[in-house]
Chain A
Amino acid sequence: GAVVSQHPSRVICKSGTSVKIECRSLDFQATTMFWYRQFPKKSLMLMATSNEGSKATYEQGVEKDKFLINHASLTLSTLTVTSAHPEDSSFYICSADLAGGGKETQYFGPGTRLLVL
């Protein structure tokens, strides 16, 4: 149980285009989903916290107009990288916590590798 999926697993796009990444909790409902960014050989940096039906909370230094987050249902959150640039190339990982319990533990998706040319 507690499986989180991400789609796509990897994407290559041209500079200036927008890319949408989906994060789904497959067998549980998630009140809260989290988006992380991971640079090569680096730790995970929390970008934003996404609550179903409300606006996301962004961490300091993360541009909310560039990284649009939508959490339309208890099983789906999306991250859209708008007007992508090569410096946005990274590994993006989402996670979710169990609604109604188990809040202390997050379940992570497999990640999405974004390459902006």
Chain B
Amino acid sequence: AQSVTQPDIHITVSEGASLELRCNYSYGATPYLFWYVQSPGQGLQLLLKYFSGDTLVQGIKGFEAEFKRSQSSFNLRKPSVHWSDAAEYFCAVASSGGSYIPTFGRGTSLIVHP
């Protein structure tokens, strides 16, 4: 069975600073990987996804993530954080050979200081 670990419950950064949110997954084959963002009281918005090909994936809102098979990681990065980026971020993994239903990590809460 697949699983996702987001080791950081909270991350605090200053506006304009760079950001990296960690995600490690467990899956036997090449996984489908996702990052979603959830603003308070809202549903999830897809930031980016990796299925195959280039391991550096560009997403919306200036986010990118890099798939590293050797480290079983799919960390999310942004070079300069804006106050509006404050939200909950979820990493998810889905089976590439089955139902595609994602398993979500517990989420990382991003706090942005002015």
Partners in one complex: yes
B106 touches A110 (CB 8 A): no
A29 vs B106: C-alpha distance when bound (angstroms): 30
Interface residues of A in 1-55 (CB under 8 A from B): 4, 6, 34, 41-44, 46, 49
B36 touches A42 (CB 8 A): no
Chain B hits for A42, CB < 8 A: 106-107
Chain A hits for B101, CB < 8 A: 34, 46, 49
Closest A residue, CB atoms, query B32: A104
A109 touches B43 (CB 8 A): yes
A90 to chain B, nearest CB (A): 13
Range of interface residues on chain A? 20 to 34
A113 vs B40: C-alpha distance when bound (angstroms): 12
A41 to chain B, nearest CB (A): 8
Chain B hits for A46, CB < 8 A: 101
**Chain B contact residue count (CB 8 A cutoff):** 22
A95 vs B109: C-alpha distance when bound (angstroms): 22
Interface residues of B in 51-72 (CB under 8 A from A): 51
Q: In this assembly, does B25 line the interface, its C-beta being within 8 Å of a C-beta of chain A?
A: no
Chain B hits for A44, CB < 8 A: 44, 90, 104
User: With contacts A34-B101, A46-B101 known, is A108 near B49, CB below 8 A?
Assistant: no
Chain B hits for A103, CB < 8 A: 100
Q: A44-B104, A110-B43 are in contact. List 8 more A-B contacts (CB 8 A).
A: A6-B43, A34-B101, A42-B106, A43-B106, A49-B99, A103-B100, A105-B34, A107-B46
For the complex of A and B, 7 pairs with smallest distance between CB atoms:
A108-B44, A110-B43, A108-B43, A43-B106, A43-B104, A111-B43, A44-B104
Residue positions of A touching B, CB distance < 8 A: 4, 6, 34, 41-44, 46, 49, 93, 95, 97, 103-111, 113
Residue positions of B touching A, CB distance < 8 A: 32, 34, 36, 41-46, 49, 51, 90, 94, 99-102, 104-107, 109
